[in-house]
A and B are shown apart, each in its own frame.
Chain A
Amino acid sequence: MKEKINPLRLLLKTTLAIALVAFILVPLIGDSIGKVSLYNTFFPGRSRLPYSDYPEQAYNLSLYNLEAMFASHQVSKHNPQTSAYRVFILGDSSVWGTLLEPADTIAGQLDRLELTGPGEAPVHFYNLGYPTLSLTKDLLLLDKALDYDPDLIIWMITLESFPADKQLTSPLVENNSAAISRLIAAYHLEPVLGSGRPQERSYWERTLFGQRRNLADIFRLQLYGVMWAITGIDQYYPPDYEKAARDLTEDKSYHGWNPGEMTEDDLTLGVLLAGKQAADEVPILIVNEPILISEGLNSDIRYNFYYPRWAYDQYRQMVNEFSQAHDLNYLDTWDIVPESYFTNTAIHTNPAGVRILAESLIDPVLEVIQLEK
């Protein structure tokens, strides 16, 4: 005979179960829940890390759980038995590929070249760029990427990622405070980054109620996987966009510094070194990415919207000297892409511009791989 349900008992049991999950289980599991993913099994892994301000059009969204981000990426589908070389490319939105289809990004174009390393082993390139300008954000991703067995890391940089005030404001950094604190302690970055820290999550923030947005985002990421698999779309491409400024202001200052005021201490060069130390035996190739060199109004003062000429020239010299001093593999490609190839910002280029950059990377990449062998 069917037992009669006691509403009060049912309510009590349900409340207890919810409390157990919300206040004990979820804080215990923490961010590892992001490892559970339908990508690379039910759907193909994404070609780039999840990011979008227009989820409904892009079938993609910005979330900050690194485990979930990497689990949704094709980089996490890896058979260690294969002999292929795995090259990870880190950097900002120019690497991630704003306005570019996955195959047209720097990783996509290099991968299409079907390069081979020693022993004719194929070289595969993985896009691990993420659209915010912060070296610390890159370091966070580099540190995580090491779990996925890279053979070489290409780290694309630009001056705008270096100022100290840019380091901890990237949402990815702000939402991964524990990992950032660990990196700062491990690589002694306090003098480089200053005393500021992203706020650590409280117990309440780690419960189901505090984590509800994160969990919902992870769930939505899985749902958008269906559309990614069906359409191959992971970015909203606006029908039109405003082109990067060619006519520039007369302003000579950069981040509040006037000519001659910017010193090595103002730029977080030490983060590059931390990246090298974190990578340990995995070689890193640091590449200063191409920028728009304007020929418009006030182009004698500024290269583009971001950079006054004096600041950018000084930065190039500093990075060059720093690389030599610390034995970093460094390649400067700042002026290889013609001005007309840039799209909506001074660091985003069209597929033809990316092609030029890709071709310039072939030899240095193969050289590093050869050397390592």
Chain B
Amino acid sequence: MSVQTILMLIALSLALGLLASKWQRTNLLMVASIILLYWLQPETSLRYLGFWMPAFSISLIILAWMATTPAVIRKQPQTTRTIAIVITLIGLMGALKYLDPDQLLGFNRSPGFLSVLLFLSAIGFISFVWSRCQLKGEVWPWAVFAILLGLFIVLKTPQLTRKASEVWRFLAGQSPALASAAEFQWLGYSYIAFRLLHTVRDRQAGRLPEIALNEYLAYVVFFPSLLAGPIARVTQVLDDLKQPGKQLPDDIFRGSQRIVTGLFKKFVLADSLAVFALSSQNALQPIARSGSWILLYAYSLQIYLDFSGYTDIAIGLARLLSIQLPENFNHPYLKPNLTQFWNNWHMTLTNWFRAYFFNPLSRGLRKKKLPAVLILLVTQVSTMVLVGLWHGITPAFTIWGLWHGLGLLIQNRWSSWIKKYLPPSGQRPGLQKALDALGMIVTFHYVTLGWVWFVLPTPSAAWNFLQQLI
């Protein structure tokens, strides 16, 4: 996101924050988020992708809501009103081709009147029928789960994404031979899918509260956290959505502070470090070992400042709307061990995996009476490999996941072993501080070395670079 886009979002958030504190809060946030879903969707060479991807996102969200919401809520008149608003909005986006032929609003991706009309009729019809169906049993949540996961696999596997691009080109009348994975972009799908999967699993566990469709849409496509999270739980956002901002001046002040911090981290610090941070271009260029280390340290700091800067901006923007998003980073590089690092790095993602994968898997394995070390090995490694695969289904991300999974296991065993030789907590504070400092240095370097697998495109490139460090 450019500074100009962020400034525009700040202005929009301020205006919406003032307006939505008094009137139609949820609907206003939903409408703004849907419009921004269209506006922020990148334009690629794939014809009409810019129109259809946001439309598919909205369709998936409606589908997931239908599958996770009791019939009594689905049948409420509020649902019909929300569907009508959504159809009108998508229709308007489709009509921009005719309403704004000079592209003054910056996008013109409509596939044409007939396609839009057919799509909107389909949404309207399916929504109407489903809102009146009973949809009993577990089959629908699982079906949504499978669709979301399937799409995830396609979008995160470069070969499959390229295939999808080929199919898209064929359907759009473009040359499939020119297809590439990079052109098949679906704005915010990762974060949308995580939120939807969270609601589907909570619904299956009976933990999901009753949510109106407009609240659900506003939560899933909430524009401040669409691109880089954090992945808030629905209940966290729902409470703030239902309560108009009572302390708006304070929210504006705190939100602004947070945005300024985020802008500084992202556009001054991270972008400066990016000039000499490790990349596939510069990995083999250093003439001395020290140069390779500088590239690596710069990358380690850059990725943190970039990501946490965006998170600060997202949290600040949400605060302008009187919504408190959860924190995502808490000084992760200052933590004395890898477990604590992961408890403080991309916290909402870690919590998500803990809640919906690690904990259920641990419980399942414990029931089988397996040795504790084996349970730990399986759960830690598989969770971290999944976190790696979330970034992309490639060998390099898999190794990065393994690196952290094994690191967590080794650290766990080491902590258990060393505990026997250490005095009880609080007796030797000096020793504890020294051990924490040493742990922090070791953890930072372990994480930093792990980034080599993350940033370089292939395991062989990463291995070559790691050899340069020795």
Contact = CB atoms under 8 A, between A and B. Distances in A.
Interface of A: 7, 56-57, 219-220, 223-224, 226-227, 229-233
B286 interface: yes
B275 interface: yes
9 contacts: A57-B281, A220-B275, A223-B275, A223-B276, A224-B276, A230-B276, A230-B282, A230-B285, A231-B282
Given A220-B275, A223-B272, A233 B285 contact: yes
A227 B287 contact: no
B298 to A, nearest CB: 8
Contacts of B281: 56-57
B253 A227 contact: no
B294 interface: yes
B295 interface: yes
Contacts of A232: 287
Given A7-B253, A57-B281, A230 B275 contact: no
A230 B291 contact: yes
A226 B285 contact: no
Nearest to A14: B260
Contacts of A56: 281
A232 B285 CA distance: 9
A187 B41 CA distance: 59
Interface of B: 249, 253, 272, 275-276, 281-282, 285-288, 291, 294-295, 298
Contacts of A233: 285
Contacts of B287: 230-232
Contacts of A231: 282, 285-287, 291
A226 B275 CA distance: 9
Contacts of B298: 226
Nearest to B276: A226
B282 A227 contact: yes
Q: Nearest 10 A-B pairs (CB), nearest first?
A: A230-B291, A226-B276, A231-B285, A223-B275, A7-B253, A230-B286, A227-B276, A223-B272, A232-B287, A230-B294
A226 B297 CA distance: 13
A227 B275 CA distance: 8
B57 to A, nearest CB: 33
Contacts of B294: 226, 230
Nearest to A226: B276
Given A226-B275, A230-B276, A231-B286, 16 more contacts: A7-B249, A219-B272, A223-B272, A224-B275, A226-B276, A226-B298, A227-B275, A229-B291, A230-B282, A230-B285, A230-B286, A230-B288, A231-B285, A231-B291, A232-B287, A233-B285
Contacts of A224: 275-276
Contacts of B275: 220, 223-224, 226-227
A229 B288 CA distance: 10
Specify which of A219, A220, A223, A226 lies most central, judged by the most chain B CB atoms within 10 Å of its CB: A226
A226 B272 CA distance: 11
A181 B294 CA distance: 44
A214 to B, nearest CB: 17
Nearest to B293: A230
A362 B309 CA distance: 57
Contacts of B253: 7
Nearest to A232: B287
Contacts of B295: 230
B94 to A, nearest CB: 38
Nearest to B291: A230
Nearest to B254: A7
Nearest to B274: A223
A105 to B, nearest CB: 19
A78 to B, nearest CB: 25
B291 to A, nearest CB: 3
Nearest to A57: B281
A227 B292 CA distance: 11
Contacts of A220: 275
B435 to A, nearest CB: 33
A7 B282 CA distance: 45
A57 B282 CA distance: 9
Nearest to B295: A230
B45 to A, nearest CB: 23
A231 B291 CA distance: 8
Q: Of A220, A224, A229, which is in contact with the most chain B CB atoms at under 10 Å from its CB?
A: A229
Nearest to A7: B253
Contacts of B249: 7
A232 B282 CA distance: 12
A353 to B, nearest CB: 26
Contacts of B291: 229-231
Contacts of A57: 281
Nearest to B252: A7
A219 to B, nearest CB: 8
A69 B275 CA distance: 19
A56 B294 CA distance: 17
A226 B285 CA distance: 12
Contacts of B285: 230-231, 233
A57 B276 CA distance: 11
Contacts of A223: 272, 275-276
A223 B276 CA distance: 8
Q: Which among B276, B281, B282, B287 has the highest number of chain A CB atoms within 10 Å? A: B276
A317 B86 CA distance: 80
Of B282, B288, B294, B298, most A-chain CB atoms within 10 Å: B282
Residue in A56, A220, A230, A231 with the greatest tally of chain B CB atoms within 10 Å: A230
A100 B360 CA distance: 61
Contacts of A230: 276, 282, 285-288, 291, 294-295
Nearest to B292: A230
A231 B282 CA distance: 9
B438 to A, nearest CB: 29
A136 to B, nearest CB: 33
A7 B281 CA distance: 45
B430 to A, nearest CB: 30
A60 to B, nearest CB: 11
Nearest to B268: A219
A305 B269 CA distance: 47
A182 B100 CA distance: 53
Nearest to A229: B291
A361 B154 CA distance: 64
A63 to B, nearest CB: 15
B56 to A, nearest CB: 34
Nearest to A224: B275
B288 to A, nearest CB: 8
A363 B276 CA distance: 43
A230 B313 CA distance: 33
Nearest to B298: A226
A229 B287 CA distance: 9
Contacts of A219: 272
A232 B286 CA distance: 8
A14 to B, nearest CB: 10
A219 B275 CA distance: 11
A226 B274 CA distance: 11
A224 B275 CA distance: 7
A367 to B, nearest CB: 37
